[in-house]
Structures are given as structure tokens and as C-alpha cells.
A = this chain, B = another copy of it.
């Protein structure tokens, strides 16, 4: 999204706002009027610049033929986590998913690897919606980082010991000790399954 000049950003915002308020993109003349340009061509050349910079798309010959590329809005989907990177670092982002009412509490999605949570109804390749936080209540399903791997497990305290508990009888509990590099990335608040078999 960067590289945009002030004016280009304003034009981008006008397009976005018009879409939100009206349900369709503005014309050059409408952009010019809103930003008080005296020539429609001012809008036109800003649009060309925005296309060049990859933040919008044009449909030539079509009235109002403007599409936002808007890759940076929406909720990031985290694929594999590169060692040593913050979880939402750009290199970890597989794609972005537009916001919608079903995902209002979700900060990012994690794609599930493996079947360790199968008994909680969470299958491989499911997208787990995660709300960022750095603590967890007993019994919550959380995304935790253990020695630079992010894993989804149920968090259990027993006395003064803490465990990451898979929901699959085939796996055993992982005890969290001071020897490990342990941190909580967030708690699971939803699931999206894109295909069913």
C-alpha cells in the first residue's frame, strides 16, 4: 500500500468511500468534484498512477470500471511460519480474507497442520480464526509458539504445571516448562473449512 503519494492516497480513499457508501465506484468527474479538481483529467491521471502502483485495477471502456486490489485490508491467513519471525510478519501471510460479520473477532487465520485437534472438530487444513492475546484461561484452545513452531492445542493448568493438550488420543500432552521458548499467540475463536470430504 505504501509508495502512494498524499494525493494518490486521497483518491484511493475517495474510491473506497464511494464504494462503501454507494455500492459502486465513482466516475472521474465524481472524484474530481469531491477533491475539488477542476479537470476530470486530474482524477484520470491519479487513477493511472494507482493502477501502475498496483492498488487498483481498471476495466477499460467500462464506466465506473475500477476495482480495489485492497490486498492489505481484510484478515491475514497465515500459512507456514518462518522461524524467528513474528506470526503476522508479511512473509507468513498466505493471502488476505475480506472481513465479514462472521469473523468479527478474528485477528488472523491459521491453517491447521496435522490431526492433533480432531476430537475438538478441528481437522487438517481448517482455517482457525485466532484472536490475538498473550494469556490464556484454563481449558481454552490457543495458538502457542513453542521453540519457534506455532501449534494449536488446548491449554490446561494442573496445580502449578501447564500443559498443551492435543484433542486426539493418539497424541500425548506437552508440558510447558521454563526451558522452552514459549509464548501465546492468541486463542481460537472460530473455524472456516473450505472443503469437505
Binding site for B on A (CB under 8 A): 19, 22-25, 27, 59, 62-68, 97-98, 100-102, 118, 120-123, 126-127, 141, 188-196
Contacts and interface: CB of A to CB of B under 8 A. Distances in A.
A45 B27 CA distance: 25
Interface centre among A25, A126, A193 (most CB of B within 10 A): A193
Given A100-B100, A101-B97, A64 B196 contact: no
Interface centre among A23, A118, A141 (most CB of B within 10 A): A23
A126 B193 CA distance: 11
A121 B195 CA distance: 12
Nearest to A25: B24
Contacts of A188: 196
B97 A63 contact: no
A193 B22 contact: no
B97 A97 contact: no
Contacts of A97: 100-102
A68 B62 CA distance: 20
Contacts of A122: 121
Nearest to A67: B23
Given A25-B23, A59-B22, A192 B102 contact: yes
Contacts of A62: 24
Contact of A23 (B22, B68, B189, B192): B68
A87 B45 CA distance: 50
A27 B65 CA distance: 11
Nearest 7 A-B pairs (CB), nearest first? A191-B193, A63-B63, A23-B67, A121-B123, A121-B121, A24-B24, A188-B196
